[in-house]
Structure 1
Amino acid sequence: MNSNSATSPFGPGLQVPISSPSGSNTTTTGRPPLWNSSSRRKISRLYLYTTLPLEKIVAVVHAKSPDTVPGQDSAHKTLNAMLNKQPRWLHPRNEGDMARRLEELSLSPTRTNSTHNSISSPMQDTSGSIPALNAVPTPHLVRNPTRASLEVPPFNQYSQSQQRRANRPTVQEREQEENSHFRTFLQRPTFMTTSTDCTTGTFSSLLKDYGHPYVKTVKRLIKRYTAPLSRRGASLSPISDEEPTMTSWLEDRDAPVCLPNGPYYMPGDFLCIDQVAQDDYTCFEGTEDHIKKSCFCRPMEELREPAWITAQGVSQTGSNAVALAINNSSFEERDQFGHTVFHLMAARGMGDELFEAIRLVQDADILNEQNTAGQTLLHVLHISWFHSEVHLQHLLDILARKGFNFSASDHYGRSFSHILFQRDESVGFRNNLLQLCGSTSYQKRDAFNMTPTNAVAPEPTIGINRTYTQAMDIDPPVQNSRHDNSDPYRTTDIQQEARTLEYVRAAVDDPLLEDLEGRNGLHCLAAATLSSSSVTQKYNLDKEGMPNYQKNKREKVDKYSDSSTRGLEFRRTLLESLLVAGVDPNHYDTHGNTPLMAFAAQLPEDDDYTNGPGIIEDLIRAGARVNARNRAGETALHVAVRCGHKLAVKQLVKSGANVHVRDAAGRSVLEVADAKMKSLRGQDDAEYSHLEACRAWLSGTSSGAVQEPTVLQEWAICS
C-alpha cells in the first residue's frame, strides 16, 4: 500500500503500531498485577451503578488486598480503558438514579442467574511466568478446581448452626432499609446465603460515611450481580482456542432473526383487537410466538379504556370519538397511539361513514396524520376494502382530490404502494396508484427489500428477476463473505474499501446511486475506512501492507485514525456534502438497514467523543427517522446497544429514540445488552464494560428504559 496515493487529507503514511504496556496481566518483575479481568469489570460495574467516588470504588474492589491498592492515576487509566474518555456522564447523578438502575438490573433474568452462570477469575500467578497455553483448557469441567472466586458458595457449605449464628439485620437496620432509596432492590430475592448477605463488616469499614442500606446494596451488587459471561469463554486458551466475539454487526450471532413477511403487529392492528379475540384466538405459554411476544396475548390483556378498542369491543371513548365525527364534524380526537377517527373507520370497514367524514372535513391535513408507527389510514385498511377494486379505487380518488400523501411510509419504510404490491393486486390498479404518488416521488425500497415499480405482464426470464423476487419475498443468492482466510493480504477487503470510498464520492453527483448491496452514499460513508492507519489496524497489516501476526499487541491510537478528532471531523464534512446533495437519510439497503443504523453500529468511540454524536444528530436533523425499524424489528437504538456504542445510545435518546422498543425476538434494549454480555468471553473486559454502560445509563432516570416494556410503553404517544 502506498499512502501517497490516498485522496484523504491525512498526512503521514502508515506507522509502526506502538504496543501499550498496560495490555498484559502480569509484570516482568514477578509481582501480581494491580488489575485483572475481574477487578476491571468490578470497577466498571461500581462506577456505572453506584454514586461512589472513584477512590472509594478502588478501595472496595481491592478490599481483600488493601496493601496493593492502585493509585488514582492507575484507577483513572483503567476506567478510561474500560469506558473510554470522559465517562463521567455514565456515573449515576444521585441515589435516586442509582436506585433505578439497580431495580431494573434486579429484574433481569440473565443477571439474576449470573452468580451461577458467570465465570470466575483464575488464581493469579505470582511467579511472573506467562504460560504459552492453558494447562487445563476446560477448568470448569475439572472436579473442585482451585481458583479464586466471587461465586456464592453452595448452600450446604455452612452448617445449620453456623447459618443460625450469622449476623442478621437489627430492627434499626431493617427500618433504614425500608425507608431508603434501595428498598426495592434489597427486597428482591437472592441466592446469597444469609451470612453472605447480612455480613457487611469489611464494606462498612471502607464505607463508614454511608448508611447500612447503601453498604448492603454495594455488597450485593458486587457479590450477586457479576458479569454474565460465557463459561465456555473462560476455558479458551490464549492462542489455540481464540475466537472473535465482536463480529460485524451484520453477522452478529446475537442479532434477532429477520421477520419473514413483515412485522407481527403494529398499532393499526389494535383497532381490530376485539375481532382477534372473538375469533377464538388461542396461544399457549412456552410457544415460540409467546416467548417472542409476537402473539396478541399482551395487546388483548393490556389494552383497556381509554383505548378506543379493547378485546371486548369498541369502548365508550371510541364510541364518543365516532359520534363527534359523524354528528358534529369534529375530527380532533386521538387515541393513545395517535389514531384519528379516519384510522378507526378505515380499520373497521366503516366505508359509508369514512366517505362522509372525508367529504365533511375542512382541514385536509388531518387525513395525512400518522400513528406512532407511521401508519396512515391507508396502512390500516380492513381486509374487506381489498375485496372490491372499484370500492378501493373510489376511496383513493377521493383522497387524491384532498391532497393525500400516498408516499407516506411507516416505520418499516412501507407506503401504501408496498402494501398493494405485497397483496399482489392487479397490474393496472398498482400502476394507477404509482401515478397518484406523483412523478417526482420515486418509489423506495422498504425494510423487506421490496421496491414497488410499474408492473408489467410476466415474461419468461433467465436468471433472477428483481420484480418477481421482491413480490415473492425472495432475495438473490447472498454474496460470499468478504472474510476469506485464503487471502492473508486482505486484497479483496482493501479493494472493497476503495470501492466504498468511490461510492461516497460519486453519490455527491448522483444522490440515487447504490452499490451492489443497495447502500447509498450515506450507508457507504458509515462503513468507509477513511485513514490509512485505520486500514492497517482493521486488517492487521504492517506499515508495508504485509500481514502482521503480532495480534496480541495493543496499538496506540494514531492522530490521523478514523476515531481521532480530525478523522471524525472529516467524516462529518463528507456527511454534510452528501445531505446537501440530496442523498436520502431514510434509504433502506438490501439488508433492510437505514444509514442511521449503519452509523450507530460503525462510528468509532474510543477517542474523540463529540463528533460521533454530532454526526448522528446531523443525520436526524436532516430527516432520518430515529425510530425506523429494520427487517429484524430493530431500531437504531437496538443496533447501538447491540454494538456497545454508548455515545450513539445517548445521542439517539437525546434525539427522541423510544427506549421501550422491542425487536423481532421480543427483546427490550436492556435485554439486548444482557444477551450480548452473556455471549462474551472472560477476556472481553472492554466490550463488557461498554455493554454494561449502555444498560446502566438507559435504565437510569435520564432515559427511563425498563426490562419488560408494555404494549403501551412501546407504542403509545409519549407523555
Structure 2
Amino acid sequence: MGRRITELANSPIQVRAASEVHFPSAHEGQGHSPMCGGSDYHESSVGAGSRPSSASPSDAYSGSIHDSDVFMESQASRSCVLFDIPEESPSQDWGCRSNSMGVCPRDGPFAKFLRATTFMTESSANTTGTFRKHLAGYSEPYVKVVKRLVKRFTSPAAGLENMTQEHNLRVAWNEDWIGGPEATTVFDTDVPLPGHLLNVDFSARFGHIPSIAPTWEDWLNQSQGTFHWMTPKGPSPGAYMYISEQTSRHDEPLLDRHRHTVLHFLAAYAPFSILYQALASGTVKDIVNYQNTAGQTFMHVIRDDASVGPDQIEELIRVARALSFNMLARDCYGRSPLHVLTMMGKTIRLHSLHDLDPREYLQRDALGFIPIIDNLSPVRPYFGGDLSSDVLGLRHYAIPHPALHPTLSNDPAVSQESQLVQNIRVSMENRFHEDDLGHNGLHCLAMATLSLGSIAEKHGLDRATESLGPRENRKVVDSSEQIMELRLDLLKTLLAAGQDPNHRDVFGNTPLMAFAAALPEENEYKRGPLILQLLIEAGADVNARNKRGETALHIAVRFHRKLAARTLVKGGANVDARNCEFQSLLEVCDEKMQSEPQAYSKYLACRAWLSGAAHAVQSPTFWQEWEVKNRVIVD
C-alpha cells in the first residue's frame, strides 16, 4: 500500500486536479473551512493548521474535522451531511495546535499517511482493515468515518461537473476503435529501441527525450560491474576483441542488460565481412535466434551499409538460414528481418525464401508495411467458394438467429455483426483469411457480438421484436457465463485451426489487444482472463505494440479492464512500457480519469493495482522500460 501511495503522490495530473477541487463548507466565508484549516478548531481533530498556498494539496487533509461541518461531494453530485463524527483519540493524545507558522509541532500516526498522496484508492487494498492498522487504538466507527472521508473528499473526480451515468465503450468494426485518430504514432515520433544502443550516435539522436534520463554516460557509470557492448565513445573493451579479429569464437552467451549478443553487436557496428565470417564459422548457431528485450534479432539491427548489394544480402540470408535462423521472427512492432531489409532499400531475392509460404512472410507490421520481395507481386489470395454449413463443430453457432443473416436485415450494423460471425467460420477453414480491414478470425471473435440481448442493446433494437427469436434468448448478453464460455470454445477452435495470434490488422492491432479492450468484465469474471491466458499460451506476444507504441496492457488500462491488466501482467507484460507519446501506464490512467469521469472508479481500480501489486512507476525511464527484468508475480 505504501508503494501505491508513493506513486499516487508522484502523479502530477492528480495533484493538479486535487488542488483544483473546491469543497463548500458550512463555515465557508468565516475562516473555518474544514479542508483548508482555520484559526479555530477542535483539539482532537485529525490534524491542525492552516494550509499555506505553496503546500501540497495533500497537506489540506490535516485540517480540522468538526462534528458540525457540512461537506459537499461536488457541485454536480448530491450533498452529504455528516453529523456526529466521533471525536476521540488513542491512548496518547495526538491532536495539536499549530504554531505561529501554521506548522503542527508533532504529527499523529495518520497525518503522515494522509499527506503522502493526493487521494486514497478504492481498490481491495484500501479496506477497513488497512485503516485499522494506521488508526490503531481508535474505535471502529471512527475508523470507518475516516475511511469514508478520505475516499470521498480527496478524489480528483469530486470537483468534476456533469458527472453523467457511466458509459460503455463500444466496438466499431469499420474503424480503429482501439485507438484515436489524433493519437501520436511511430510515423510522428522517432522512438528509441534497445537496438539503437549499439550505435555511437544514440545520445545525439535521442538525448533530447526526457525519459533518456539519466544520460547514456551517467547510466553506464551507474551500471558498473555489468557488461556493455557499446559506449558513447565506441565499443567497450570487452567488445573490441570481436571486431579486431583477436578471436574466432563467437558462441559465448555474453549478454548485456538488454539481451544483446555478439551477433547483435557485429550486425550493428562491425563491417559486413566480419558479421558474415561469424555466421559462416557456424559457432554462433546457439545464439543466432536470440532476441533483445524489444524482440529484435541480429538482423533487425543490421547496419545500413550502401556497399552491401543483392548478392551479399542473398548470401547473408543463406548462411543465417543454414543455422536455422528464423526469418519470420518479429520485433515488438511486428517487423521481421525482411521488413528491415525492405526499409533499407535492399533487394531480397525470391529464391532465398523458396521453401517459405509467401502468406507467412508477406505480413504487415504495426505500421502497415509489407516486405517487398524481388520477382514476387503480392496478390491477395482468393478464398471463394461456398462455405460448408458444418465448420469444425461450429454449426450450432454459425448464425445466432436467422434474423442476423446478412441477406435478411436492412440494418447495416446488424448485417455486419453477422458478417463477423461468417468471418470466424471462414477463418476456421483458411487460417490466412482476413477481411478488408485486415482482421483475421481472432480479431473478429474479439469484436463479434454473440448474444441477441447485446445486439439489441448495442444497436438500439427493441427486445420485444418477435424477429429476434424466443423471448428467453433475448435476455442473454455477452457478459453472461453462457456466452463467455461460447467465446472461449470458439477461440480454442480458431487456434487449433492455425490462426496467427500475432496477426495485425490495418491499424496495427493484434488479437490480444482486441480481446483486452473488448472482453466484458461486468458479470462473468473467470473466463475473460482464461481467454487472454489461452492466447498468450498460444504464442501471442504480450509486449507487441501497435502503431501508437501501445502494448495490450496500455489498451487494457485505457479501456479500464482491470482483470485483463492482471492477466497480461501475469503473462509477462512490461509494466514500464511507454507509448509513442512516452506515457507510462499510470500516466495513461491519470489522463483517462480526467477525460472519462464516468468511468473514474474503474480507472482508479486499475491504477491502484498497477502501482501496488504490479510495481508500476509513474515515469519510467528508457533504461527501466527496456532492461531485462524479472516477471511480476501475480497471486
What residue number does 2:57 align with? 191
Q: 1:405 aligns with which of 311, 326, 336?
A: 326
Residues 1:296 and 1:413: Cα distance change in structure 2 (over 3 Å): farther
Provide the secondary structure at the position in 2 that maps to 1:662: coil
Instruction: Tell me which residue corresponds to 2:156.
Output: 228
Are the counterparts in 1 of residues 47 and 62 from structure 2 also a CA contact under 8 Å? no
Separation (CA, whole Å) in 2 of partners of 1:632 and 1:585: 19
Provide the residue aligned with 2:197 in structure 1: 270
In the other structure, the counterpart of 1:639 is 555
TM-score by length of 1: 0.64
Alignment match of 2:337 (pick from 410, 416, 422): 416
Q: Distance in 2 between matches of 1:209 and 1:201?
A: 21
Q: Is the 8 A contact 2:264 2:297 kept in 1?
A: yes
How far off its partner does 1:563 sit? 0.5
Q: Does structure 1 residue 699 correspond to structure 2 residue 611? A: yes
Q: Which residue of 1 aligns with 2:103?
A: none
Q: Report the RMSD for the aligned CA atoms in angstroms.
A: 4.2
1:500 to 400, 417, 420: 420
Structure 1 residue 613 corresponds to structure 2 residue 479: no
* Corresponding letter in the other structure for 2:418: A
Output one character per residue of 1:303-358: Cα deviation in whole Å (capped at 9) or x when no partner.
54433223243334544777898265542101111110010011003334323322
Go from structure 1 to structure 2 and tell me whether the alpha carbon gap of 1:323 and 1:715 turns closer, same or farther (over 3 Å shift). Answer: farther
Question: Structure 1 residues 209, 257: closer, same or farther in 2, change over 3 A?
Answer: farther
The 5 Å alignment of 1:23-42 reads none
Mapping of residues 387-402 of structure 1, within 5 Å: 387-402=308-323
How many equivalent residue pairs? 518
Distance 1:558 1:647 in 2: 27
Q: Is the alpha carbon distance of 1:119 and 1:533 closer, same or farther for their aligned partners in structure 2, counting shifts above 3 Å?
A: farther
Matches within 5 A, 1:252-291: 253=180, 256-260=183-187, 264-272=191-199, 274-277=200-203, 290=209
1:452 correspondence with 2:371: yes
Q: How far did residue 214 of structure 1 move?
A: 3.5
1:346 is matched by which residue type in structure 2?
Answer: A
Q: How far apart, CA to CA, are the structure 1 residues paired with 2:156 and 2:219?
A: 32
Aligned-pair CA distance for 1:510: 1.5
State how far apart, in whole Å, the 1-side matches of 2:424 and 2:90 are: 59
Q: Does 1:714 align with 2:625?
A: yes
Give the Cα separation in 1 of the matches to 2:507 and 2:89.
52
State how far apart, in whole Å, the 2-side matches of 1:441 and 1:663 are: 28
Deviations 1:536-566 (A, max 9, x none): 12223321459xxxxxxxxxx9862110111
- Give the equivalent residue in structure 2 for 1:346: 267
Decide whether aligned partners of structure 1 residues 715 and 283 sit closer, same or farther in structure 2, where only a CA change above 3 A counts: closer
Cα–Cα, structure 1 residues 189 and 223, in superposed 2: closer, same or farther, change >3 Å? farther
Within-5 A mapping of 1:201-600 = 205=87, 212-214=108-110, 216-218=112-114, 221=119, 222=150, 226-229=154-157, 234-235=161-162, 246=169, 250=177, 253=180, 256-260=183-187, 264-272=191-199, 274-277=200-203, 290=209, 293=211, 299=216, 302-304=219-221, 305=223, 306=226, 307-319=228-240, 326=247, 328-362=249-283, 364-384=285-305, 387-426=308-347, 429-435=348-354, 437=356, 441-455=360-374, 491-545=411-465, 560-600=476-516
Contact 1:616 1:648 in 2 (8 A): yes
Between the aligned partners of 2:580 and 2:290, the Cα distance in structure 1 is: 26
Return 5+ residue gaps in structure 2 as ranges.
49-53, 68-84, 95-107, 120-149, 381-408, 467-472, 631-635
Structure with the higher fraction of residues in helix conformation: 1
Secondary structure class of the residue paired with 1:326: coil
How many Å apart are 1:150 and its aligned residue?
Answer: 9.7
| Other structure's SS at 2:615 match | coil
Code of the residue aligned with 1:234 in structure 2: it is: E
In the TM superposition, what is the alpha-carbon distance from 1:373 to its structure 2 partner? 1.0
Distance 1:564 1:116, change over 3 A: same
Stretch moving more, 593-602 or 107-116: 107-116
Shift of 1:215: 5.6
- Cα distance in 1 for partners of 2:22, 2:355 equals 61
CA spacing shift, 1:321–1:394, aligned 2, 3 Å: closer
Q: How much has 1:229 moved relative to structure 2? A: 4.1
- How far apart, CA to CA, are the structure 1 residues paired with 2:156 and 2:182? 18
Which structure 2 residues correspond to residues 614-693 of structure 1 after superposition, within 5 A?
A: 614-681=530-597, 684=598, 687-693=599-605
Q: After superposition, what is the alpha-carbon deviation per residue over 1:167-203, rounded to whole angstroms, capped at 9, x for unaligned?
A: 8989xxxxxxxxxxxxxxxxx9613567x52657888
Judged with a 3 Å threshold, the aligned counterparts in structure 2 of structure 1 residues 654 and 209 are, in CA distance, closer, same or farther, namely farther
> How many angstroms does 1:644 deviate by?
0.1
Amino acid at match of 1:102: I
SS of the equivalent of 2:298 reads coil
Distance in 2 separating the partners of 1:625 and 1:122: 53
SS at match of 2:579: coil
Q: Which amino acid aligns with 1:302?
A: W
Q: Which amino acid aligns with 1:213?
A: P
Is residue 453–residue 475 contact of structure 2 (8 Å, CA) maintained in 1? no
CA distance in structure 1 between the aligned counterparts of 2:595 and 2:23, rounded to whole angstroms: 15
Partner SS, residue 300 of structure 2 = coil
Contact 1:511 1:582 in 2 (8 A): yes
The alpha-carbon distance between structure 1 residues 193 and 405, as it changes in their structure 2 partners (threshold 3 A), is: closer
CA offset at residue 389 of structure 1?
A: 3.6
**1:583-635 deviations in Å (ceiling 9; x for gaps):** 11110001110000000000000001100000000111111111111111000
**Structure 1 pair 441/296, CA: closer, same or farther in 2 (3 Å)?**
farther
CA positional deviation for 1:100:
0.7
Tell me how far 1:384 sits from its aligned partner. 1.9
- The 3-state SS of whatever aligns with 1:405 is coil
Which structure has more relative contact order (CA 8 Å, sep 6+)? It is 1
Q: More deviation in 525-534 or 498-507?
A: 498-507
The separation in 2 between residues aligned to 1:539 and 1:254, in whole angstroms, is 23
The correspondence of residues 75-154 of structure 1 with structure 2, limited to 5 A, is: 98-118=1-21, 153=36
Instruction: Name the amino acid aligned to 2:256.
Output: D
The one-letter code of the counterpart of 1:632 is R
Whole-Å separation in 1 of the counterparts to 2:568 and 2:24: 35
In structure 2, how many angstroms separate the alpha carbons of the residues matched to 1:402 and 1:150? 74
Distance 2:168 2:452 in 1: 25
> Is the partner of 2:293 in helix, strand or coil?
coil
Describe the superposition over 1:465-503 as per-residue Cα deviations: whole angstroms up to 9, x where unpaired: 99xxxxxxxxxxxxxxxxxxxxxx992211111111111
Distance 2:86 2:249 in 1: 69
Moved more, 530-539 or 388-397: 388-397
CA distance in 1, matches of 2:40, 2:34: 19
Q: 1:355-386 CA distances to partner (integer Å, 9 max, x unpaired)?
A: 33223343613111111111111100112266
Match for residue 12 of structure 1?
none
Partner SS state of residue 583, structure 2: coil
Percent identity over the alignment is: 34
1:450 to partner: Cα distance: 1.6
Per-residue deviation, 1:689: 1.2
Q: Are the structure 2 counterparts of residues 639 and 119 from structure 1 closer, same or farther at C-alpha, using a change threshold of 3 Å?
A: farther
